[in-house]
Structure formats: structure tokens, C-alpha cells
Amino acid sequence: MGPAPVVIAGAGPVGLATALLLARWRVPTVLLEAAPHRSAVGSKAICFQRDVLDILGRVGVAGAMVAEGVTWTTGRTYFREHELYSVTFPKAEVPPWINISQARVEELLGARVAAEPLVDLRYGCPVIGYREDDDGVDVLTRDGPVRGSHLVGADGPRSAVRRLAGIDFPGRSFEDLFLICDIKASLPFPSERRFYFDPPWNPGRQVLVHQCPDSVWRIDWQVPPGFDLATADLDGMVGRITGSLPYEIVWVTVYRFHSRVAASLGRGRVFLAGDAAHLFAPFGARGLNSGLQDAENLAWKLALVRRGAPDRLLDSYDAERRAAALVNLAVTAKTMEFLVPQTAAQWEWRRTVLERAVTDPGARLLIDSGKLAEPYWYVDSPLTTATGPVPEEPGAARPPVPGVICPDAPVRGGRLRERFGAGFVVLVGRPERVAEAAALGAGLGDVPVEVLALPDLGIEGAPLGEGAGPDSVHLVRPDGHLAAVLPSFSAEALGAALHRAIGR
């Protein structure tokens, strides 16, 4: 009998990605899904960020996503009948984000899972309990127990795993309603995001229009309390955007938003990821993007602990990803104060900012229609060897310092970030240091450590920061975050940083 698998509850995008990421580490998984079959419909999450595309690249679906997805480079913001401003982003080889429906991404991930012998996906198999002991977990299903080394709850907002583990889910659910409508239409709009505040046809509320592939347009429409989809004049509403052009409604739903983060993302051998661990308002696209970052963070740590790294490495999952979730919660809560004010003072602020913005460019900077996330800076993580000053806060320009995701750079045959994911990577400035660094990496036992010399990659130091010179050493974690940046090569310092990065 082989080693016990990791058991994952939930084959949504986060569960599927976790299973595929673990398979890259040769870790078998049993993926238990409550639904009888995959039935992803509707766009749901539609915006996938560049850094998250790297994760999706590691599981083999980013290429198809980028090929099919829509990249908009201009965002326009309107207030009543005025266009307030537009922002245009430069076209890039690796786009800053792409629009593609979550349903399509789940389909792509599902196809990879179907072709992956290390993933045993069982539909119609809800997790209904678990028992943990010193060596593993018995995960209970109606078909009997499944034995695993660990259990990952990727079972969504109403997570059974979270409830069974007795983990609280504090936060708030809001009463405000949004109508999400995917329509198929040939609209004469260029590929732009359009944000309408208080349009004459939806006063006091907003409407957001995004393009998705295949001539599908996603409309997020804030609707009044008591809105009833069954009796609503949908054609009248959609016609405000399409005019007299024909369209077909592909998917429509009404939802409320929630702001919640689990009290802990791990308890014993059980971990929470994705919507089971956190729920954010969707403006800013932080829900699924951060869920996929959870999946990656957890997968390499589970894999290395199964190879002998200390359990402390898994403790860092909660430390790192809960901290990230709390920042996402704070940022999205601030956005929603602007979009959906809850107090008279917040209403007044919104009205003042929008009215001033018609003539005052300074006020336009105060409009908050959602902010895309920066991958969390793990500067305070127990795995990070901090050196030098700690940067101020996530959201500022990304410095190449320990804890922050490593900058990308063109290298011979591709991009630097494409070299990450299969283990630790040590980047040294001088080829003659490779053997010594590799010997230190070998001291970690069954933990893969690859040493790459910057000149061999075709990198001359600057992309890794002004301070990076021929003697500096960058230690990169499997998720692409810098674990340490050493100003000069020191066997002792690099050995210590490697041990720290695996929780020793």
C-alpha cells in the first residue's frame, strides 16, 4: 500500500487546484465532492490576476486561459451622465489580468484532474465527519471512511469541514443585493471595463460591465432591497446597456456579499482553503484569486511535511494565509463602504467625492470601485529571514525583499517565474557558487533545492533589485516568494535561511 493520500473536501476551483498542485509533488489525493457531477454554470469569478496565472500555469491551465481570455486595457468610470475618467494600461506579453469565467477555468482544471492518476475524484461523496489521530485522519463519508494524512476543507462558504473542526467564521453578511447577468451579444464596445455610478437608469446604485470570451458580457447590477428576479423586468434592465441590439441571457443570479475570515485556517491535521476560509465582496477580485494562493501555499507545505519537514511548516499556513485574508477583508470592506454605504456619513462621503470628481481630478483618486490584490508580503512570517528595513505595507510598489513575491524577469528560454514551483530555488550571482549552494540544499534531505546562477539565466542583477549584485543570493520558496535575500554569499547564512524556510 502506498502512502496515505491527502483528502480534500470540495472539487470547486480551489479543491481542484490543490489536488493538482499536490500531484506535482507526487502526493496522491482523494478529492471528495458533494455534488453528483460537475455543474459549473455562470461566470462567478471572472478576473484572474497575473501572479495567480503563474499558479494556474503550474497546473497546466494558464496557457489555455490566456489564449481564450479577454484582456481589457482601458477602464472607464462614469457618474450620472458624465464620464469621469479612463485609465489605460500598457499591453504586456503576460497580461496583468484576464477575464474568463470561473466555469471555464473549472472545466480546464477538471480535464487536468481527469488525466492525473494521482487524483482520485469522487462525486456524490460529501464529507460528513472526521476523526483525527496521531498518524492521520479518517474522513467519514456515506460510503465509509477514507484514510488520509491530512484533510483540506475546500468545501466552500458553508464548509462542513470548518463546522466539524469547530472553527468560527466571524464577520458580517450584508443585506444589499446584486444582480449578476451574463449576456451574449455583439456590442459595439471596445474591450473595456465600464463602471457606472448612479446612472440615470439606476440612481443611487451602480452597474459594472465586463467583457468575457465568446461575446459574453458580465453585468453586475446593484438592485434595490426586495428585488425579485421572478418578476423583474430583465429585458428593460439589460436594454439600458445593449440598446436595440439583440442579446441572449446566458446566466442570471442574485447574490448578497459577505465579509468573513475563519478564526483559524488550520486545526491539527485539518486545513481550510478558499471560500471555506474567507469570504470577501467580489469587487477587487480577491475571492478566487486568494483561494488559489491558499492552495499553492498549503500544497508545498503539506508535501514537504510528508517528506520530513517539521509540522511547524504547516503552522505557517495559518500565519501567512490568515494574515493575507485579513488584509483582503479590510480592503474589500473599505471598497464596499464606498459602493454600498451603510451609514449616513458614508453616503455623504460617496456623494461628495463623486460630485466633486466631475470637475476635480484630485477627487477622482478617492473613488473606490475595487482594488486588485497584491500577493501578500510574508515579511513577518516565521519562514522569512528578514534583512534590512521592512517595507511599509502591501499595496505599495513591490520591493524585492524577503517575504515579497520574487520579481519576474526574462531569462533564456522564458521567464524567471516559470522556473519556480518544484522546490526551493537559490539564485546566485556567480556560477562558481553553484556547487557550494547545492551542497547546502542537499543538507535538507528530501526537499528539492535547485541552484541557478544569474549569468547562466541571462540576468544581470538589476531585475532583482538595485542592491542585487554578483555576490548576492536570493532564496525563493516553491510559491515564488523570497524567503531570504543575502547581500553576499555565506554558507552559514544560506544554510540557516534554508532551514528557517522549511520550519526548522
Ligand X SMILES: Cc1cc2nc3c(=O)[nH]c(=O)nc-3n(C[C@H](O)[C@H](O)[C@H](O)COP(=O)(O)OP(=O)(O)OC[C@H]3O[C@@H](n4cnc5c(N)ncnc54)[C@H](O)[C@@H]3O)c2cc1C
Residues found near ligand X in the complex (CB under 6 A) = 9-15, 32-35, 44-46, 102, 126-127, 154-156, 160, 180, 253, 255, 274-275, 282, 285, 287-288, 291
Closest CA to 421 of 502, 481, 484: 481
Q: Using CB atoms, what's the residue nearest to ligand X? A: 12
58 or 210: whose CB is closer to ligand X? 210
Report, in Å, the least distance between residue 15 CB and ligand X: 5
How long is the chain? 504
State in angstroms the smallest separation of the CB of 183 from ligand X: 15
Residue type, 52: V
What cell numbers appear for 152 in the block?
A: 483540506
Counting DSSP H helices and E strands in the chain, the numbers are 13, 27
Of 89 and 255, which has the nearer Cβ to ligand X? 255
CB of residue 405 vs ligand X: minimum separation in angstroms? 19
C-alpha cell at 255: 447574490
Q: Which three cell numbers stand for residue 212?
A: 468575457
Check if the beta carbon of residue 9 is closer than 8 Å to that of residue 161. Answer: yes
Which letter does DSSP use for residue 417 in this model? G
Instruction: Identify the residue whose cell numbers are 470570451.
Output: 213
Give 156 or 402: the residue with its C-beta nearer to ligand X: 156
Question: Residue 436: which H helix or E strand, with range?
Answer: helix 434-442
Give the shortest CB-251-to-ligand X separation in angstroms.
9
Residue closer to ligand X (CB basis): 15 or 148: 15
Q: What is the 3-state secondary structure (H, E, C) of 113-125?
A: HHCCCCEEEECCC
Euclidean distance between CA atoms 267 and 165, whole angstroms: 7
Least distance CB 445 / ligand X (angstroms): 33
Which residues are paired to 31 by β-bridges? 8, 121
Helices within 219-260 (DSSP H only): 234-242
Q: Coil, strand, or helix at residue 405?
A: strand
Nine cell digits for residue 220: 453586475
Q: CA 441, CA 424: separation in Å to the nearest integer?
A: 9
- Residue whose CB is less far from ligand X, 34 or 187: 34
Q: 66 or 125: whose CB is closer to ligand X?
A: 125
Distance CA 147, CA 32 (A): 12
CB of 49 to ligand X, least distance (A): 10
| Between 12 and 57, CB nearer to ligand X | 12
Round to whole Å and give the CA distance between 427 and 414: 16
Rounded CA separation 372/492 (Å): 39
Task: Determine how β-strand 6-9 pairs with β-strand 150-153.
Answer: parallel
Closest approach, Cβ 232 to ligand X, in A, equals: 16
What is the closest distance, in whole angstroms, from the C-beta atom of residue 319 to ligand X in the complex?
20
Instruction: Give me 453's grid cell.
Output: 546562477
Instruction: Pick between residue 90 and residue 225 the one whose CB is nearest to ligand X.
Output: 225
State the nearest-atom distance from the C-beta of 45 to ligand X, in Å: 3
Nearest distance, CB of residue 351 and ligand X, angstroms:
26
Of residues 89 and 123, the one with the C-beta less far from ligand X: 123
Q: How many CB atoms lie within 10 A of CB 311?
A: 11
> Looking at beta carbons only, is 285 or 501 nearer to ligand X?
285
Q: Which three cell numbers stand for residue 361?
A: 481630478
What span, in angstroms and rounded, lies between the C-alpha atoms of 338 and 346? 7
Minimum distance from CB of 11 to ligand X (Å)?
5
**C-beta closer to ligand X: residue 39 or 244:** 39
